[in-house]
Structure 1
């Protein structure tokens, strides 16, 4: 009977066959311990010389790292491992012998591992990170489906910038100018006017020349937009969504978190509601913490976000930033128009901003003023203005960066390990 490592618990005391690769091995004169992987998980196979033919035992002893095989044996309990099961091997059929596999169990430098990313993905820790990423994606679809959102796919090629920045990848679109999307938000606002509550999930691109551990050139964003919803209601959706993601990973990725040696006690505290601090109070807090140069009206960098997050044991919303440092579409606070109805959600443990969101301007005349202020008079923006002309309503939305969220939940230092094939400032290979 053919099965996979993830399904062996259903075959206790049965003989099964698994297609697998050899991750590692150790052997003595009479027994060989094979560390097997098949994509669904990792498991030990034990080959006892007295229980198999001489040919099978010699095959086991001669197996090289990453050799592929069909391996057959009886599934038994293994209380010593976190996985809980192992295979008592009876047969091995080699499919392809790997020779001189470059990534050995010894330490390798980051650049070497990135050059071999296509192989590094096979390692136990990278496998765990990808499984956690997958769980966050699965939970995202579940959360928004359960809450009556409709998935809408905005275009990747656009004729304009979502936030009016110049950090865009430019391309020719036949005889027109085009850009790779840095956000699907503007299109999602149009979708919300048609479908009520919507979300997108797709790749976005930033030509920002940054080398920090939080930045990628190509990354994935989850961007919900909600008609008839104000800023306060949107914050509740955000904290419930992030809580749901964290609890889903805690419930469904115990083995992976264990492999990564993640301190789950910190994740267990991540339950809505989340604390909030205004931009004004954040400035005061930073000055108290020794950031004496920070002044009202300046944006926060990574050290500032980390210092603010250290004062809380959950993710924290920083609310009501100055209008001058935020995007043109954010709605001013009616009681204080120099700040906008927005929030950034800062993850604990130094992982920085994982969500940016706001209530959007719904007044046509105010949006026209913003167009003038930001020089957005191009015909490419006309359709966005028309959303305020034909049945405008209060609406809000936000964007969550997938890779930063994976890094935080998995406890990974750098976002380059949270996406299968990272695109960095100086890396387009493999």
Structure 2
């Protein structure tokens, strides 16, 4: 007898198989019990008929508690109502572990309770769907960059300086030196791009930002490409192609998960490059026309401002050419204006905010040195970075995509805490 997983069942219709599974729920009607089974690859219903299996097996099935683990021997039969098109006609049940008093019941639970039991909450259908979509975004990310000639590079997590300053960094001691948990691998990726041309990283980043909004995490994952000989406009084209690719990959490969989450597929189906663009200058004018009198030229956008701009489009929208004083030191100045830089933020539709920040990078040695001084950064700590401008400097660009915000947008969940297996929030380091 073959042991298989649930997602393989459509290939075994008419066969008797064995699966290892957990009981997500059950109901019974007289002499028939219906077991909702899951094994990580999917969910399937097992039908237990007393006349078929006998009193002992039927009583065993009816006595199972939610999330008990078991081996099930059953015949795979077709069922149009099932998401996989099949169900199981159970012949035998072998209990591995009877999960008595499982804490997460089918009733409603508060968010804090569910977060305290995140290690168990992951088993739910909704969380299972979100994690599968996250995995598909990661898979299609590697696919996109490898198809386009990028090389995967891993920057360090412990750093001696910060690309954005040190106000939101986690400090630690590195033997007798100060060190910080990385908030971005960008500077190291620029060095890698000078060696390998087009590179990308995918790894954890940390922000010691005391924020409680639905868009923020303390620890999150970033995809950060850097590209030699690529300037601002070409970088925007690569960004919109990349985002289009991952959205279409999720639509193609995660239809059951999107359905389970109740996602409006029509909103995702239209996500195709090119994306609309609006300059920072025009965005300020637009916000003033919409009654946002709290923002002036030179201010950064908050969540309400980004949402208002995004609502004017049904696609992700680039906001380009921000004032240099509110952006990072390494951004290339606009060739015709000294007050803005060649950068863009990509704002997701439906109120999910910024998912990408990117720019063309400075490659002139004297200008980079001056910008480091203007930002009161320790020049000695950036000596290696200045070397990139001194030895074989070329125009180059890069960007960073926040994985969790992107998962939230594509899957349609409200809060980023549901888009990472074990979220780290302002007041949460457990479990």
TM-score by length of 1: 0.99
Q: What per-residue deviation string (whole Å, max 9, x for no partner) do you get for residues 48-94 of structure 1? A: 11111211111111111011000010111111233321111001000
Judge conservation of contact 2:284–2:297 (CA < 8 Å) in 1.
yes
SS in 1 for 2:202: strand
Q: Distance in 1 between matches of 2:166 and 2:140?
A: 32
Q: Distance in 1 between matches of 2:430 and 2:100?
A: 23
Aligned to 1:328: 329
Aligned to 2:270: 269
Does residue 144 (structure 1) correspond to residue 145 (structure 2)? The answer is: yes
More displaced 10-residue stretch of structure 1: 368-377 or 227-236:
368-377
For structure 2, the 5+ residue unaligned runs are: none
Q: How does 1:15-164 map to 2 (within 5 A)?
A: 15-164=16-165
Q: Distance in 1 between matches of 2:267 and 2:83?
A: 21
SS in 2 for 1:17: strand
Q: Distance in 2 between matches of 1:211 and 1:295?
A: 25
Q: Distance in 1 between matches of 2:10 and 2:85?
A: 9
Q: What per-residue deviation string (whole Å, max 9, x for no partner) do you get for residues 261-318 of structure 1? A: 0011100110000000000000011111110221100000000000000000100000
Q: How does 1:11-410 map to 2 (within 5 A)?
A: 11-410=12-411
Q: Distance in 1 between matches of 2:97 and 2:294?
A: 62
Q: Distance in 2 between matches of 1:81 and 1:290?
A: 50
How many residue pairs were aligned? 430
Q: Distance in 2 between matches of 1:192 and 1:144?
A: 14
Q: Distance in 1 between matches of 2:127 and 2:294?
A: 40
Q: What per-residue deviation string (whole Å, max 9, x for no partner) do you get for residues 318-360 of structure 1? A: 0000000000000000111210000000000000000000000
CA 1:378–1:177 in structure 2 vs 1: closer, same or farther (change >3 Å)? farther
SS in 2 for 1:387: helix
Moved over 3 A (4+): none
Q: Distance in 1 between matches of 2:338 and 2:276?
A: 24
Q: Distance in 2 between matches of 1:17 and 1:82?
A: 20
TM-score by length of 2: 0.99
Q: What per-residue deviation string (whole Å, max 9, x for no partner) do you get for residues 219-238 of structure 1? A: 00000000000000000000
Q: Distance in 2 between matches of 1:11 and 1:30?
A: 27
More displaced 10-residue stretch of structure 1: 43-52 or 312-321:
43-52
Judge conservation of contact 2:17–2:74 (CA < 8 Å) in 1.
yes
SS in 2 for 1:339: coil
**1:202 CA drift (Å):** 0.1
Q: Distance in 1 between matches of 2:374 and 2:212?
A: 31
Judge conservation of contact 2:321–2:340 (CA < 8 Å) in 1.
yes
CA 1:279–1:165 in structure 2 vs 1: closer, same or farther (change >3 Å)? farther
SS in 2 for 1:105: coil
Judge conservation of contact 2:68–2:98 (CA < 8 Å) in 1.
yes
**1:165 CA drift (Å):** 3.9
**1:29 CA drift (Å):** 1.3
More displaced 10-residue stretch of structure 1: 369-378 or 392-401:
369-378
**1:163 CA drift (Å):** 1.1
Judge conservation of contact 2:315–2:348 (CA < 8 Å) in 1.
yes
Q: What per-residue deviation string (whole Å, max 9, x for no partner) do you get for residues 218-258 of structure 1? A: 00000000000000000000000000000000000000001
SS in 1 for 2:306: helix
Q: What per-residue deviation string (whole Å, max 9, x for no partner) do you get for residues 20-43 of structure 1? A: 000000001111000000011111
Judge conservation of contact 2:25–2:37 (CA < 8 Å) in 1.
yes
Judge conservation of contact 2:373–2:379 (CA < 8 Å) in 1.
no
